[in-house]
Amino acid sequence: MSFFKKIFTSEKKETLDKGLEKSKSSFFNKLNKAVAGKSKVDDDVLDNLEEILVTSDVGVNTTLKVIERIEERVAKDKYLGTSELNQILREEIAGLLSETNSGEETDYKIPELPNREDGTKTPYVLMVVGVNGVGKTTTIGKLAYQFKKKGLKVVLGAADTFRAAAIDQLQVWADRVDVPMIKQGMGSDPASVAFDALQSGVNQNADVIIIDTAGRLHNKVNLMNELTKVKRVMQKVVGDAPHDVLLVLDGSTGQNAFEQAKQFTAATEVTSLAVTKLDGTAKGGVVIGISDQFQIPVKYIGVGEGIEDLQVFNKYEFVDSFFK
């Protein structure tokens, strides 16, 4: 199985390796203890491996699938040495993830959209959701930077009007990346801000419009109603907006990220995921679990604080770095 060919540039790969360092060393410390003194993969080793994967936040369901795949190989190959376990894990997890049809990207890009009815360009509208504190605003800033670097015209919309700091924080990023931002006062109607942002984006012939939204989840009904209203109002300007609803999750919260993904996907239609803060945690396995469990593609991962450290998620490079 040659899943692993060189996809990323060495610089990007280095950033990914560094960002997953904590997760990787925590995983291998546990794995080395589990196979100490054993030469072949037996039931004991598999039991230990199951526990290691679960405690590395891969998630129970995904772990069981991985163990099952390894059991099949043990049965087929009759003798599997513990020294080969690392390579087998890489191959089986990559094999499992290859069954989802996402995580194949190598660079930032947006789909080509048909022109609007009046013949003008249709901007790609990205709506970003997620609870406060997960790195939502930073993710938006870094996305704006990457799209702009690709020569695309970007407009930001500050529709998280419930937190004064949210508007200011987004403004800091808009200034830093040098892209226009549409805002109103704190407490104003988020749908109205989104409407203004889309209108402004269309008038400026923007390629990408990124809309920030409020990060509240304590009342799913309110959140659902609000996001539905924001979408409905955006569609008055761009008929099929938003083209992507990106849920940002904090990878350092491990299983809590799974929980948030479940809650948000129940409250609104989410079409892609970004998992942030992987560099500061040993819980990087959560990306494997989320990628497998939710039929929603992980599009971006945050592997550092630098402006370049938000990467497109490529499952083969990720697994390669994790189990290298």
Residue pLDDT, tens place only, 130-166: 988 899 999 999 999 999 999 999 999 999 998 878 9
Q: Is the pLDDT of residue 226 over 50?
A: yes
Is 280 within 8 Å of 22 (Cβ atoms)? Answer: yes
Q: What is the pLDDT of residue 5?
A: 62
Q: Where are the beta strands (DSSP E) in the chain?
A: 124-129, 154-159, 181-182, 208-213, 244-250, 272-276, 298-302, 310-312
Mean pLDDT of the chain: 89
Using CA atoms, how far residue 41 sits from 62, 89, 94, 193, in Å, is: 20, 12, 20, 58
DSSP assigned state of 252 = G
Q: Is the pLDDT of residue 234 over 50?
A: yes
Interstrand relation of 298-302 and 310-312 (parallel, antiparallel or unpaired): antiparallel
How far, in whole angstroms, is CA 208 from its chain's centroid?
19
Query: What global pTM score does this model have?
Result: 0.90
Q: What is the pLDDT of residue 213?
A: 93
Q: Give the pLDDT mean for 180-190.
A: 94
Is 236 within 8 Å of 185 (Cβ atoms)? Answer: no
* CA distance linking residue 291 with residue 273, whole number of Å: 9
Q: What is the pLDDT of residue 2?
A: 52
